[in-house]
Structure 1
Amino acid sequence: MTQTLMQSDLPLDNHRQGKVRDVYDATTTDGQPVTLLIASDRLSAFDVVMPTGIPDKGRVLTQLSKFWFAKIGQELGDRLSHHLISTDANDIAGLDEAQRAALRGRVMLGRRCEVVPIECVARGYLAGSGWKEYQKTQSVCGVALPEGLQQCEKLPSPIFTPATKAEEGHDENISFERACELVGEELMTTLRDLTLTLYQLGHDHAAKHGIILADTKFEFGIPVDSESKQPILIDEAMTPDSSRFWPADDYEVGRDQSSFDKQYVRNHLQALVDAGQWGKEPPGPALPDDVVANTANKYRQAYEVLTGSALDD
């Protein structure tokens, strides 16, 4: 496995840092202004960034997003554009060779956009916060569901469940009507329809490769250089950080599922919480080598199964 990248420090403007990505205002070598997104190997669990990185995690997120953006362009290009311009670190102006080398495989140069402040979530199965809400209200984000559904059961049809984007802590699930109040009914109707279409595309592709895409979330933005004000897909697309991927051959209704994500980390941390050794507050505890290795392997496996290619190809 490669050395982890936990943070960046580049001579570029407007450096912002999220839980996983470092973001800069940058320019391409041919003079185009872009947003530079660098996927680090940081991992967040229980909304706390762990001090131990997961080798190659950022490369998996970037390369899998690149795969999905290409597929979306091929199949939905007449309906939806995306932000991705390049994933080549050599296209970034103002960096030296050492800086570019450290970024290879983990950068996206995208169109600059005004971000729509709504997480657009599609759910095809009843899991996570949706399952918890259903047990209390028999609905998810205001969407009424049939009685008697079990944990992780497939829904009669996929549903759209928006959430507000939190700068810190948890995003908050909201109803479609509330989302319309925040950003406008016409825009939210468009984003709902696009989200469900994207989910179906991802679900059908994953199913052909023995994987269930249980749910996923997308972000959209309005390009600052566009007069049409039509939303485009931004950030990442259908990665283990933004989605629940389950192996189809191990799927069983009524229980938690094994998954291609950071479940090894969650299980380890929950054991610490149950033992009173950590309280889900920063700083996070260092992760043991076996948890790191198992998690890295799960991310790589997700990429390789979904794309049919090795990460290093």
Structure 2
Amino acid sequence: MPTCSRLRGVTENFTTRSTDLNRIASSILAKTSHQSRRRSKCREHAGGVPHRHETRATGERCPMRHSKGMRFLTRRTGADVRLAAAIAVAAIAVVWPGGEAVRTGGAQAVGTITGVVAMDDPPVPTTVPVTADQAFCGERVPNEEIVADEKGRVANAVIRVTGVPWPEGVAPPTIDNIGCRFAPHVQIAPTRSRLLVTSQDDVLHSTHSYDDRQRTDFNIAMPFAGMEVHRPLRRPGVVRIECDSHSWMRGWIVVSNDLGAVTDGGGTFTVEGVPAGTHELTIWHERLAARPQSVTVTAGQTTEVAFTLAQP
């Protein structure tokens, strides 16, 4: 029954779209036929006729008797016939069920990539000392340079699908000053997106952005909770975020033209909407490294990959 239902839907779609296209073709052909009849009547008066002349039979005005004008009319009529024929062919080629032609104008065939990023001999979690504003920030905060669970699965690794652009409507990136840390610690964002910088701390922070050439992109003073400031991420590259008031605070934004994702606390990631075909995956981590991988995506299916990170 599902097969019959789907076939019936395709047939109905074919009938509707074919009718619409044929209606357009018929309109063009009718117009062309009228022009052809008019031209034939005008040819009967080829000798010594003024440039605008009423035929005795219909009272219609003939076009100018200049040779170029007649050639233009002939070319125009021929073009209309060819256009009508093309539309009639499209009525079959575009909507006839079976084959890739049925996908014309539709969504691109896509699949999903999912995977795990891990490392051998994960380090024991550590903390770093707080050297300023201890009354508010406390005495120590977690070291987020390498975050891995007991199985070695690594968080905060960025995976990118080379050459695959971001879709429309991606949520804008956000970085928050909270608990004297930047959250999220690592993220990926499309090039030319607008970063929302916020603070939930009633203590002076400065959200200082450096590009991968160590140049300042922006430096925002945030003296109290509730502040919100937008800044553009104009160029692709790895952006480092620091706080001039608190040296341990650090965050990273991978600004990319390529679609990507960040691993969660369990070292897993998912990239949806990847076009079917073979793609190269690259990976970035603030302390670790891994070689790119090639992966083949099948439409409507999920492809699994695994990365192993190591010290560069």
> Do the structures match in fold with TM over 0.5?
no
Q: TM-score, normalised by structure 1?
A: 0.22
Larger Rg: 2
Larger proportion of helix: 1
